[in-house]
Structure 1
Amino acid sequence: MSNTIDYGNLMHRAMRGLIQRVLTDVGINGLPGEHHFFITFDTLHPDVEIADWLSDRYPGEMTVVMQHWFDNLTVTDEGFAVTLNFGDSPEPLYIPYDAIKTFVDPSVEFGLRFESQEDEDASPGQPVAPAPVMQMEPAAQKDDTTPEPAPKSGEADVVSLDSFRK
């Protein structure tokens, strides 16, 4: 028995469980209202399954959008499989929860970001627990006069895949 409570790993599992629950509900009932997801994941994770041309094009991380068209959503305890459309080419993907870096639902300004914390003092062969970072912002009432906030320095811009379609 350990002398400490491993809050980092407990939070990590809870956040991944939240994603599993949301995706399970979407698989059963579809996306409600204006909800949609931007999911960024590590394409180099050993359990990620994507087409070779996608891993060649996105050799480190990739952001997918689940919004207007997705098919065959299957959610398990370890990850989820989904077929998404890339330029009129349906492609099956398998994304384990441990590969997810960010999960964002911009329709309600909700987001989770997972970061791995590199511990330089760790001994070789010792696992370093990922340090989950949770960012949640409540949905704000917007009117036409409210300007969109500028992206913060150091945050990645999300680019719609529609701009790359021919």
Structure 2
Amino acid sequence: MSQSIDYGNLMHTAMRGLIKTVLRDVAERGLPGAHHFFITFDTTHPGVEIADWLRDRYPGEMTVVMQHWFENLDVGEDGFAITLNFGDSPEPLYIPFNAIRTFVDPSVEFGLRFETAEDDEDGEDVAPAAEQDHAPETEGQPDAEVVSLDSFRK
């Protein structure tokens, strides 16, 4: 038996499960009301599939928006496929859930941020458990709160 419970990884697994559930519902029923998502992911993560020109333009991370136009949303166990429009050019993407860094729905001020051990090693601050970070404000939208849970990890 392990010497301790890895709450950080357990929370990440639960939060990715929440994203999977939300995306499966959207794939089945569409986006309800004003809901829309900003999803930031690591473009270098194993399993990420994006066009070469997108990888060249976003060599480290990329944020996509699921709002007005998207198609072919297919949610699997380990990630999701989607076709998004980039300047009138539809592009298919595959994003593993483990590649997601942030998931924000500004319509209801909801957000999740996944920090890695590399973030901690780089000296980036990790918010204490009781604090919440704010996602960038989108035009005409209030700040979305992003809760960081990595401060529990050692």
TM-score range, shorter chain: 0.7 to 0.9
**Which protein shows a greater Rg?**
1
Q: CA RMSD, aligned part only? A: 2.4
For these two proteins, the number of residue pairs brought into alignment is 129
Is 1:28 aligned to 2:46, yes or no? no
Percent identity of the aligned residues?
76
| Cα distance in 2, alignment partners of residues 116 and 87 from structure 1 | 32
Match of 1:14 in 2: 14
- Higher helix proportion, which one? 2
For structure 2, list consecutive stretches of 5 or more residues without a partner in the other structure: 122-128, 135-140, 144-154
Contact 2:41 2:95 survives alignment (8 Å): yes
Deviations 1:68-94 (Å, cap 9, x if unpaired)? 000000001100000000000000000
| TM-score, length-scaled by structure 2 | 0.78
Q: Secondary structure at the match of 1:34?
A: coil
Query: 1:24: how far off?
Result: 0.2
Is 1:108 aligned to 2:108, yes or no? yes
| Cα distance in 1, alignment partners of residues 27 and 142 from structure 2 | 31
| Cα distance in 1, alignment partners of residues 142 and 35 from structure 2 | 18
Structure 1: which 4+ aligned runs deviate by more than 6 Å?
Answer: none
Is 1:83 aligned to 2:95, yes or no? no
| Cα distance in 1, alignment partners of residues 55 and 18 from structure 2 | 27
Query: 1:117: how far off?
Result: 2.4
